[in-house]
Chain A
Amino acid sequence: MTRVLLTIGLLTSIFCSFACVQKGGNATTGNTGDTIKVGVYADLTGQTSSFGQSTKNGVELAVEEINAAGGVNGKKIELIVEDDQGRPEQAKTVVSKLISQDKVQAIIGEVASTNSLAAAPVAQDAKIPMITPSSTNPKVTEVGDYISRVCFIDPFQGSVMAKFAANTLKAKTAAILGDVNSDYSKGLTQFFEEEFTRLGGKIVAKEAYTQSDPDFKGQLTKIRNLNPDVIYVPGYYGQVGIIAKQARELGMNMPLMGGDGWDSPELWKLGGDALKNTYISNHYSAENPAPEIQNFVKAYTAKFGVSPDSLAALAYDAAKVLADAIKRAGGTDSVKLKDAINATKNFAGVTGSITLDAQRNAVKPAVVLELDPAAGKFKFKETIAPEGAATSTTAAANTNASGANVANTSATNMNATAVSNANATTNSNTATTNATR
């Protein structure tokens, strides 16, 4: 009997760990004929819900501005927002619902690459254009020609931090601690490793965790023994704050580095002082004094009471890019709309000038931000622009050595082959940045 009960217990435990609960979404408004319906799916209540909330806010602000200016081609945009709870299977379900039930004409979402990857085939099969504001894994847009994004991709984001580690922090060795269940984290791990090795660095350890791990000291203790110059933690804010805290508890005071997944107001509460000496790559800096960025920051703060993180900025840009494409396509015919989105060129967004390349990825520079836990702020450190296709290592090194150019985020030459350090002559952000050393 004991054996039977315990076997049932084992089976149940397996069931429980995969169990999920379906939950209906909430359509914001009823069905009217004279609107353009745009579906948004995001994680509003799950583990990464700060991402979803920012995305929803960003899109809402953009749509409000567009509708206030008379809409697109005389039609107002109507948003239908669905919650996917941060689960890939749920993302797929709500996108199916948006397409078949709500008959949306375009979709904006998700943040986490794993969720976008789950939902993208649904949009592709139904031939409904989907713009992901902030999924950076390259596989997302490889799903098909109806899927595009307004952010840079992980090969670039991973290489940015590798360059920053090797050139600015002068690191020779690095350890990586990644999230094993996240496509985002796996992508960043791979590209960081490639670039860091190419620049002559050595990866001394590659460890992984899962989001439900109760602590990270096991992995961290192992890394501590190898004493790397930096640790790269490409994860999401719910875990990385604790990782930083536990690393510092173990007496590991080397710089920690991460990606845009760290960007959340919750991070400060979880990590606290342990976030000193940490750096992340991100899409934009809210401190950038360019007027279009400051106007956006002001409007967003007035409406939602918080400063916009990069996910809000990207969502805002995604909605604006979509509206622009609908205008150029002269309507919402799905083939024309898709072509118009994919032809987006030099669109002036708050996260920089957006041009979609042949793989429907936005090519734009990244910023490196330093975390300042005392002020609860990300401080601008430097801008790193993407390399041209045929760039050699030496060319990059030379431009860098000469201290050259590429101004700030909002006005950057797309094909620049340079890493520009934040110094007084090249960057208009310096008023705030130089103090961060």
Chain B
Amino acid sequence: MDTFVQQLINGLTIGSIYALIALGYTMVYGILRLINFAHGDIYMVGAYAGFMLAVALGFASEPSAFGFVVTLVGAMAIAGVIGMAIERFAYRPVRKYSKMTTLITAIGMSLLIEYLFVFFFSGTPRSFPQLLPNENITLFGNATISTSQILIFVVSILLMVLLQYIIFKTKIGKAMRAVSFNINSAKLMGINTDFVIAFTFALGSALAAAAGVLTAQYNPKIEPLMGIMTGLKAFVAAVLGGIGNVPGAVLGGLLIGAAETLVVGYGGYIGIPSTYRDAVAFAILILVLLIRPAGLLGSNVQEKV
């Protein structure tokens, strides 16, 4: 029992990270019908931004809650600005062409970010400083949870609540929902769609950066290609939950994280070795596409082709 709880905690930790990143995929898709493949790399950019802030401001040497908050918020702000810049200079100029053009631009953007970082920071893994003291708390029996895991849960829940508030209780959130519903009507109603789209990118990128900094507290190795696999899994999470659906992204993220870890922990009993961890996410993606393309929480809208 305690082992199962332990595996569940491990899985939900990773799942929360996937959920934070999946939110960015799903919001951008909801508004532009664009799969922003560079989003996984923003997660990496966020981790690096946090790394550099923490080192430059001297938080690396003396861990403190203040240092952590400044690093987290700073990294989110930097990534938000970079996300907006990417939208402004890479996606907006090609937005008037077919969706395929933007999609391919996104892939190019992803590779560009990855290899710019390899070029400037080299591919060698770096160690993210521990910003808060890490301790283990025994729940019962053998089941333990570390403070870095609790941190991931608490901060991601706070951010998700904040996001929900922004989307449903603020004017800009209302505008986002309007653009998502129908971009042309929204424009006719006097909504500055360019601003709303830029804001959406900033919001999604900030969440991804938060995921980057939180992961780095749990697994301090950061390197320029860390966003590829994590980003793809978050994308799968967004599809599983129903792409374009915000609560769906959170549900999808937690499910993927849990599924992955449970396969590692118990897959052996049904003949699946632990190395199939990555395959699980993609098997889920294929199943979702075959059985329920709209995802778990997505509404099945018939589109005219």
Residues of A within 8 A of B (CB): 1-3, 5-10, 12-13, 15-17, 19, 21, 44-47, 49-50, 85-86, 180, 207-210, 212-215, 217-219, 221-222, 224-225, 238-239, 241-242, 245-246, 249-251, 266, 269-270, 272
Contacts and interface: CB of A to CB of B under 8 A. Distances in A.
A17 to B, nearest CB: 6
A352 B35 CA distance: 56
Given A21-B115, A215-B219, A219-B274, A50 B124 contact: yes
A238 to B, nearest CB: 4
| Chain B interface extent, by class | 35 or more
A370 to B, nearest CB: 21
A212 B144 contact: no
Contacts of A17: 228-229, 232
Nearest to A2: B293
Interface in B209-255: 215, 218-221, 223, 225-226, 228-230, 232, 235, 239, 243
Given A5-B33, A16-B107, A221-B3, A213 B277 contact: yes
Interface in B242-293: 243, 260-262, 264-265, 268, 273-275, 277-278, 282, 285-286, 289, 293
B189 interface: no
A116 to B, nearest CB: 19
A218 B125 contact: no
A210 B277 contact: yes
Contact of B37 (A12, A219, A246): A12
A49 B124 contact: yes
Contacts, number: 162
A215 B305 CA distance: 42
Contacts of A246: 219
Interface string B87-129: 0000000000001100100010011000100100011111100
The secondary-structure label for the interface of chain B is: helix
Nearest to A12: B107
Given A45-B122, A47-B123, A212-B229, A249 B134 contact: yes
B124 A215 contact: no
Interface of B: 3, 6-7, 10-11, 13-14, 17, 33, 35, 37, 99-100, 103, 107, 110-111, 115, 118, 122-127, 130, 134, 136, 138, 142, 144, 146, 215, 218-221, 223, 225-226, 228-230, 232, 235, 239, 243, 260-262, 264-265, 268, 273-275, 277-278, 282, 285-286, 289, 293-294, 303, 305
Contacts of A10: 282, 285-286, 289
B6 A2 contact: no
B14 A251 contact: no
Nearest to A44: B122
Contacts of A44: 122
The secondary-structure label for the interface of chain A is: helix
A6 B238 CA distance: 11
B219 A218 contact: no
B103 A8 contact: yes
Contacts of B286: 10
Nearest to A237: B125
Contact of B274 (A12, A208, A245): A208
29 contacts: A6-B289, A8-B100, A9-B35, A10-B286, A13-B232, A13-B282, A16-B37, A16-B107, A16-B110, A16-B228, A17-B232, A21-B115, A45-B122, A85-B118, A86-B123, A210-B275, A212-B225, A212-B228, A214-B14, A214-B17, A215-B13, A215-B14, A217-B13, A218-B7, A218-B265, A218-B274, A222-B3, A241-B221, A266-B125
Contacts of B268: 222
Contact of A49 (B3, B13, B122): B122
Given A6-B293, A12-B107, A242-B220, A251 B115 contact: no
Contact of A3 (B221, B223, B265, B289): B289
A178 to B, nearest CB: 9
Contacts of B146: 249
Contact of A19 (B111, B264, B289): B111
A30 B18 CA distance: 50
